A and B are shown apart, each in its own frame.
Chain A
């Protein structure tokens, strides 16, 4: 479903080259729930951005549902992103001028869905996250947990096959974080494939599959633990 083969991302400035991802290999199957962990600066977010086609990669191959992403134009990537991918961000990233209903409606507008269907889908998604009665509220009138649920509803509205979540609970207290995690698990059980970047070991443990990213590569978990303990310096590919 999602395949990355030897994907690398290099940021080049006048003086220095930074390898955010090196020969990154990953295969994700339909319906998986994957937690991506790793230290800050290890390349987790870069991986997520490339997976979500928000960034291009320097080399390698990335196939999404068999489509070679490297061959697509910017507009084609935007279209594919709109059709197949939903994003959930740590900072919620709701548009402050739009009320809850309108925020959830945004991806559907870009897909060109007609008004009646848009309304039905938005209502369905907001009901799903328990916010069906807050349609006219602006984001700033909601708590952090509620805002993240709106963001999840927005990600779900386009009925994506992939949900990419970047620290979805990072700005929430533990109770809210648990609620959001339960919601993501429910969505996964309903068929969506979820890739979640997190620093929270507890949340990572709840995901059926864990991968760790270190220095732009996927690391062996046990090895990673040893590295953290300072007893093993090497980084090995899985």
Chain B
């Protein structure tokens, strides 16, 4: 019967082409607007590492005196001091872990072929590559020995490799960051994380770094961070060493804990660590205050998806509702005109359910067509968003789930629009229908 209903739907569309076109345009516009905002929201709020996000944790430590408040909801700083980052990094904990901080250099090859350009650079431990599932197209991560010795090695992105070396295998070649020559040990495939969750301090959706170097270079190269630095008390910082020894927070830290037992164990470690730091006289606190947030908790805590984003999605659904209301009106006119035919069908043995289904199939087909057209409109909308704000480059796209959701939402919207008109038609007394023939 479904094929028959579809055939009847197509005939119905042909019979009233203008009404059909109006309804398709209405649902397409509604879906186009809705999917534009929903796609951005979806990309913003989706789990960047679904298989691992519950195992990667960012610690927050309260190393301030009692009574000194932070501005965060839980009174914890977002970042760590160098002292804490280094101590957590060097702790004898059998887990993948990495401190992390962003800086930037002028990148060049010390020749006249490539004009130097500024690039952000991230200092990390080589565990970072494993923890964040980075894929290499040439070479691989630097060794633990390089991490420990502060060797001048680097891993660059495929995109940067294209610019510097025309995409050739550049492993073993030299690249200059400012005046310092680094040996390339690996070229990683481009990040496909839409949200820069490992460092949210300068915006969740900024471009990921193209260059990584060992964290152990931070001291010999006196690397200053390109990011937020916050303090809570006056400190006379005159040198880089002063900064390293200060209570300024400016580094991120991630640890991979694969089981609840490991999480418990790590929390115990943090408790002991903070107790020890207080004992050493670094700060005066009666309580031990810290938190350990996984990736999704971290995104939520940092309000990556703002209330504004939710409001925009809500407004777009309201627009869809207006479109649906218009479609209800058009369908009422269209379906009620068909009452005599429905009477004939009922006289010939069609049940109310069959008449109802026939009309729902018709509106579903309408939704499918409108939804497909809506995808095209949404693409146009997302292109507009990308063109206006480069910040949204990775966000203003539709992934497979959104491509599938668009026609489904359109069909659902049309079914909702068609319920009342279809119910009205199928409940009309067939004898009355025949009288109006």
Give chain A's interface residues, CB within 8 Å of chain B.
49, 52, 54-55, 74-75, 78-79, 81-83, 87, 89, 91, 93-95, 97-98, 106-107, 109-112, 154, 158
Please name 12 pairs of A and B residues whose Cβ atoms are closer than 8 Å in the assembled complex, sorted by A: A54-B347, A54-B431, A55-B429, A55-B430, A75-B353, A78-B352, A87-B347, A93-B340, A93-B434, A107-B348, A109-B1, A158-B348
From B344, B346, B354, B430, contact of A95 by CB (8 A): B344
Does B341 count as interface, using CB distance less than 8 angstroms?
A: yes
Q: By the criterion CB–CB under 8 Å, are A110 and B353 in contact?
A: no
Interface centre among B12, B15, B343, B349 (most CB of A within 10 A): B349
Question: B370: shortest Cβ distance to chain A, in Å?
Answer: 22
A74 CA / B350 CA spacing, docked (Å): 10
Question: A91: shortest Cβ distance to chain B, in Å?
Answer: 6
A131 CA / B142 CA spacing, docked (Å): 86
Give chain B's interface residues, CB within 8 Å of chain A.
1, 4, 8, 11-12, 15, 340-341, 343-354, 429-431, 434, 437
Q: Answer whether A55 and B431 are a contact pair too, CB < 8 Å, given A95-B344, A97-B11, A109-B1.
A: yes
Complex interface: chain B residues within 8 A of A93 (CB): 340, 343-344, 347, 434, 437
Q: By the criterion CB–CB under 8 Å, are B349 and A74 in contact?
A: no
A64 CA / B56 CA spacing, docked (Å): 74
A91 CA / B436 CA spacing, docked (Å): 11
Q: Answer whether A75 and B434 are a contact pair too, CB < 8 Å, given A81-B347, A109-B1, A109-B4.
A: no
A78 CA / B431 CA spacing, docked (Å): 13
* Residue in chain B with minimal CB distance to A48: B431
Q: By the criterion CB–CB under 8 Å, are A75 and B351 in contact?
A: yes
Complex interface: chain A residues within 8 A of B348 (CB): 81-82, 87, 106-107, 110, 154, 158
Complex interface: chain B residues within 8 A of A74 (CB): 351-352
A78 CA / B353 CA spacing, docked (Å): 10
A93 CA / B341 CA spacing, docked (Å): 8
A150 CA / B11 CA spacing, docked (Å): 21
* Residue in chain B with minimal CB distance to A76: B351
A109 CA / B355 CA spacing, docked (Å): 13
Q: By the criterion CB–CB under 8 Å, are B437 and A78 in contact?
A: no
A98 CA / B341 CA spacing, docked (Å): 11
Q: By the criterion CB–CB under 8 Å, are A78 and B1 in contact?
A: no
Complex interface: chain B residues within 8 A of A111 (CB): 349
Q: By the criterion CB–CB under 8 Å, are B346 and A78 in contact?
A: yes
A49 CA / B263 CA spacing, docked (Å): 76
Question: A78: shortest Cβ distance to chain B, in Å?
Answer: 4
From A89, A97, A106, contact of B437 by CB (8 A): A89
A82 CA / B345 CA spacing, docked (Å): 10
Complex interface: chain B residues within 8 A of A79 (CB): 349, 351
Question: B326: shortest Cβ distance to chain A, in Å?
Answer: 25
A102 CA / B385 CA spacing, docked (Å): 50
* Residue in chain B with minimal CB distance to A82: B349
Complex interface: chain A residues within 8 A of B341 (CB): 95
Complex interface: chain A residues within 8 A of B343 (CB): 93
* Residue in chain A with minimal CB distance to B349: A82
Q: By the criterion CB–CB under 8 Å, are A97 and B434 in contact?
A: no
Q: Answer whether A54 and B11 are a contact pair too, CB < 8 Å, given A78-B351, A93-B437.
A: no
Q: Answer whether A54 and B434 are a contact pair too, CB < 8 Å, given A74-B352, A78-B351, A79-B349.
A: yes
A49 CA / B433 CA spacing, docked (Å): 12
From A83, A98, A110, contact of B354 by CB (8 A): A110
* Beyond A78-B352, A87-B348, A97-B8, 19 extra complex contacts between A and B, CB < 8 Å: A54-B346, A54-B429, A54-B430, A54-B434, A55-B430, A78-B346, A91-B437, A93-B347, A93-B434, A93-B437, A94-B344, A95-B344, A97-B11, A97-B12, A98-B11, A106-B345, A107-B349, A109-B1, A110-B349
Complex interface: chain B residues within 8 A of A112 (CB): 1
A87 CA / B352 CA spacing, docked (Å): 18
Complex interface: chain A residues within 8 A of B353 (CB): 75
Q: By the criterion CB–CB under 8 Å, are B431 and A49 in contact?
A: yes
Question: B191: shortest Cβ distance to chain A, in Å?
Answer: 55
Complex interface: chain A residues within 8 A of B8 (CB): 97
